[in-house]
Amino acid sequence: MTYGFSEGKIKVCMRVLAILLLLASCISRPPLSTEASFTLESADLTIRLVSLGPGELRGRHGSNTDRIRNPFIDYPAQFLKKRIVVFETEISTLESEVLFRLDEIRLEIGGVRDAAASPELLTNYWKGYASQEEGVLMQALMRKTMLSREFSVSPGRPAKGYLVFAHSFPKEGGDAVISFNVSTPDGEEGLLEQAMEFTETGILDEEKPDREGIFSEDS
């Protein structure tokens, strides 16, 4: 008796099942910013950051339930625990030209610090988890959305894109700071920093609603 399942279909089903089991068992969930957006200003330079959580990124770029297509969520590393934090970023200046390098942009959460990832670095992190076809699709998305390894801004030429940090940040979050070491073509250098706070849920303890009744924590 035959049931019409070809060997190719069985392999596809096995791969989908393997992906689902892998993602469900060991995905790394990032801590979440307690504030939605930030603005850093120094002289004529303005940096605007919008924190993008997994839900927003999933809505923009799809989920990884049937195949890996979204490189910004659900990193499936059980031991490395790279938690991916993403900011939608817009940088502008009114008079000066300012130079940026991703390895000079750093995020520290709960005492753990790392530089922003380039599309090439994030691609390397996903090797071994994504098929060749999935890798090609993710690389195209990263090149389209992420800031490049080196870039500059000048009047009328802002920079827009994702700043992505992929490191073993603590899942419970903590006090945080993002820092930008910047320079100009004339050799001037400067440092911009913004304090932040991350928690596991994106809500500060004092902001959590009071729980009353028989199911309250104090009962």
Identify the pLDDT of residue 214: 38
pLDDT at position 162: 98
What per-residue string of b and e applies to 159-183 under the rule 16 or more CB within 10 Å gives b?
A: bebbbbbbbebebebbebebbbebb
Helical packing angle, 119-126 and 132-145, nearest 10° = 160
15 assigned to some structural domain: no
pLDDT at 213: 40
The identity of residue 19, as a single letter, is: I
Domain residues for 75? 28-204
Separation of alpha carbons 59 and 73, rounded Å: 11
> What is the reported pLDDT for 92?
98
pTM summary value: 0.81
Q: What is the pLDDT along the chain (219 residues), one digit of tens a residue?
A: 444 556 666 555 555 555 545 544 567 789 999 999 999 999 999 999 999 999 999 999 998 887 888 999 988 866 667 899 999 999 999 999 999 999 999 999 999 999 999 999 999 999 888 889 999 999 999 999 999 999 999 999 999 999 999 999 999 999 999 999 999 999 999 999 999 999 999 998 665 454 444 334 443
Residue 57 lies in a domain: yes
Residue 211 lies in a domain: no
What is the number of domains present in the chain? Answer: 1
Residue 4 lies in a domain: no
pLDDT at 218: 41
Task: Provide the 3-class DSSP secondary structure of residue 188.
Answer: coil
Within 10 Å of residue 15's Cβ, how many Cβ atoms?
13
Is there a domain that residue 8 lies in? no
C-alpha–C-alpha distance, residues 200 and 196, integer Å? 14
Would residue 167 count as lying in a domain? yes
Are the beta carbons of 108 and 167 closer than 8 angstroms? no
How confident is the model at residue 69, as a pLDDT? 86
What was the pLDDT predicted at 84? 95
> Has residue 6 been placed in a domain?
no
- Taking the C-alpha atoms of residue 163 and residue 49, their distance in angstroms, rounded to an integer, is 9
Domain assignment present for residue 218? The answer is no
Q: Provide the pLDDT for residue 217.
A: 43
